[in-house]
Copies of this chain bind each other. A is one copy, B any other.
């Protein structure tokens, strides 16, 4: 928080520049867990911004989980260990790259079909609407990790069958060619054991532990864009969550 100056011509908002600088200081260890972050007044004075802007920077820092505020005391660097990608929605490809693995896929099916009722309901489809169906075995570090069956409304991604290379990243394709940004997803996980067919594809013994996931992904408007059912090897993955006690987070 020294005599560094802000770029007031930049398209990057001031509060965001400040938040990024503080994040950097926390990550580098310059600001340690439990320590006081510069106060609103201090930021305001040193960086010559209004107090509301300083405040917005600190709120942004808190909402990212890097700090927390206490009335009358100050804002402190959070003591939580921040796992990377905690609670973040990532595609399989992104997740694997994050871990330093090279993701691969074996495509089992890629076609346009009439969906069953569960899929049609989850995707809010009209009566005769079709979906693009993509079923793949996902491979990480030369061993199968999961079987994944995705359904997308055909209406929202025309010519996906012709255009998309089905072993690649679906989320990237949706974003780059259709402007469809996945914003959030609801996911249900169950504990189960592998069927004979699954065991063969996943190269495990029959009745080995597996996770079964059912995921519906949405655009930020609430439009469902993808319904996925997947089966993960229980010995190769964990589900990591961060739970908060109050949804009533005020601003």
Residues 197-251 of A contacting B (Cβ, < 8 Å): 207, 209-211, 218, 220-223, 232, 234, 238-251
Residues of B within 8 A of A102 (CB): none
**Assuming the A-B contacts A220-B68, A251-B251, are A245 and B60 also in contact, with contact meaning beta carbons closer than 8 angstroms in the complex?**
no
Question: Could you tell me the distance between the alpha carbons of A241 and B243 in the complex, rounded to whole angstroms?
Answer: 10
- List the B side residues contacting A33 at CB < 8 Å: 222
Binary interface encoding of chain A residues 73-102 relative to chain B, with 1 for a CB under 8 A from any of its CBs, else 0: 000101110010011110000000000000
B184 touches A87 (CB 8 A): no
CB <8 Å contact, A209 and B185: no
Contact segment of A2-10, A147-155, A186-194: A186-194
Q: How large is the interface on A (under 10, 10 to 19, 20 to 34, 35 or more residues)?
A: 35 or more
Q: How far is the CA of A243 from the CA of B240 in the complex (A)?
A: 11
Q: Are A250 and B60 in contact (CB under 8 A)?
A: yes
Q: Is A34 an interface residue (CB 8 A)?
A: yes
Query: Does A32 belong to the interface (CB within 8 Å)?
Result: no
Of the candidates B89, B189, B222, B246, which one forms a contact with A68 in the assembled complex, judged by CB atoms under 8 Å apart?
B222
Q: Which residues of B sit under 8 angstroms from A78, Cβ to Cβ?
A: 222
Determine the residue in chain B with the shortest Cβ distance to A249: B63
* Identity of the chain B residue whose Cβ is nearest the Cβ of A84 in the assembled complex: B247
Give A21 Cβ to nearest chain B Cβ, in Å: 15
Partner of A221, one of B68, B87, B188, B243: B68
Q: Is A56 an interface residue (CB 8 A)?
A: yes
**Does A59 lie at the interface of the complex (its beta carbon under 8 Å from any beta carbon of B)?**
yes
Interface positions of A from 153 to 186, Cβ below 8 Å from B: 181-186
Q: Is A16 part of the contact surface with B, judged by Cβ < 8 Å?
A: yes
Please list the residues of chain A having a beta carbon within 8 angstroms of any beta carbon in chain B: 15-16, 33-34, 52, 56, 59-60, 63-65, 68, 76, 78-80, 83, 86-89, 181-193, 207, 209-211, 218, 220-223, 232, 234, 238-251
User: Can you give 9 A-B contacts (C-beta < 8 A)?
Assistant: A16-B250, A64-B248, A68-B220, A86-B247, A87-B247, A184-B243, A187-B241, A188-B239, A191-B211
Besides A88-B246, A186-B240, 5 more A-B contacts (Cβ < 8 Å) are A68-B220, A68-B222, A87-B244, A88-B245, A186-B243
